Homo-oligomer: A and B are copies of this chain.
Amino acid sequence: MAEARFDVVGIGSAIVDILARTDEGFLADNGMVKGTMALTTAAQAKAIYDRMGQAVEISGGSAANTMAGIASLGGKACFIGKVGADKLGEIFAHDIKATGVEYDGGDPRLIQKPTATCLILVTPDGQRTMNTHLGAAMELNTADIDAERIAAAQVTYIEGYQWDTSGAKQAIRKACQAAKGAKRQVALSLSDPFVVDRHRDELLALIKDDIDILFGNEDEIFSLYQASDLEGAIARLRESRVLASMTRSAKGAIVFDGQTTIAVDAAPVAKVVDTTGAGDLFAAGFLYGYTHGRDLAHCARIGAMAAAEVISHMGARPETSLRELLVKHGL
């Protein structure tokens, strides 16, 4: 097998986040389910935005955040996802490249839709509630997947979110085939409990056939297996023969390799400002460690460190060099 040009290539929605602080009442008044992601039409997005407070715009997108995290740790990452031919598309492309990630977004001039945005409401407890308008991100299709690029990465990382778009789903299937053909690994992030609920059977089949590494939080993994406790979920994970990482917010994370369960504490955070990107950055730290030959406990500790950085400020991209944190923490 040729040496990998990338540690990880991520495939996902290229999104610019629009984040505003709010209170619990706003979520209730607007029928939002705290901590989850809802897809919106352009009209719904406009109505929410009109009611939202002053915001900040920060590049986001789940897999893109993970790739930015890997690059910040010093790893080699590539991101595949589509933006529109507009200002937010320029901003997304600038930011992902500025972090050191190779960006493969095709030609935005061929896209008629606006760059995807995610309206994120952050409550005083730091929890984020997301409303995504996919726009240009929905245009991802099999033509965007370069099999050689996939074969050049140790791990291909895909978002569960992509299951909401039929073209993207086909693109992901092509990427899985390319990875398998090159004897590379495929990682899946479950993304959101509602995504899991909408596409449970397809995701279970995908995991069985193609996935080597599974990322999810408790809600997502319990929902996937319709399990009611940790033992039930682990029994099902054992059947799935995946390396699984389950994040548990302040309780840390559990990694299960088919035989052994490793629990890792959450890294300390002075104040949880905004949980957006916590799972994405955990995956970044984990995959950086994994593609650099660290043991599983070590991988999870790097993940916890990266997640702790990203929840200490607004936005889902690291504000400080994770490479420097890695050195500082002796990881």
Contacts and interface: CB of A to CB of B under 8 A. Distances in A.
Interface of A: 18, 20-21, 49-50, 52-59, 68, 86-88, 91, 94-95, 98-99, 114, 315, 317, 319
Contact of A55 (B18, B53, B95, B114): B95
Given A21-B319, A55-B98, 5 more contacts: A52-B98, A54-B98, A55-B91, A57-B57, A57-B58
A20 B97 CA distance: 14
A94 to B, nearest CB: 6
Q: Majority SS of interface residues in chain A?
A: mixed
Number of copies: 2
A295 to B, nearest CB: 31
Contacts of A99: 53-54
Given A21-B319, A319-B21, A91 B57 contact: yes
Nearest to A86: B87
A53 B56 CA distance: 17
A49 B87 contact: no
Contacts of A49: 94
Top 7 closest pairs, chain A to chain B, by CB = A57-B57, A54-B95, A54-B98, A87-B87, A53-B98, A56-B58, A54-B99
Contact of A317 (B50, B54, B94): B54
B68 A59 contact: no
A88 B57 CA distance: 10
Contacts of A88: 87
A68 B54 contact: yes
B21 A94 contact: no
A94 B55 contact: yes
A211 to B, nearest CB: 30
Given A21-B319, A49-B94, A57 B54 contact: no
A203 B88 CA distance: 38
Contacts of A87: 86-88, 114
Contact of A56 (B50, B54, B68, B315): B315
A277 to B, nearest CB: 13
A317 B53 CA distance: 12
12 contacts: A21-B319, A52-B94, A52-B98, A54-B59, A54-B68, A54-B98, A54-B99, A54-B317, A56-B56, A56-B57, A56-B315, A87-B87
Best-surrounded residue of A21, A53, A87, A95 (most CB of chain B within 10 A):
A87
A114 B90 CA distance: 14
A60 to B, nearest CB: 11
A67 to B, nearest CB: 12
Contacts of A54: 59, 68, 94-95, 98-99, 317
A191 B52 CA distance: 30
A309 B293 CA distance: 44
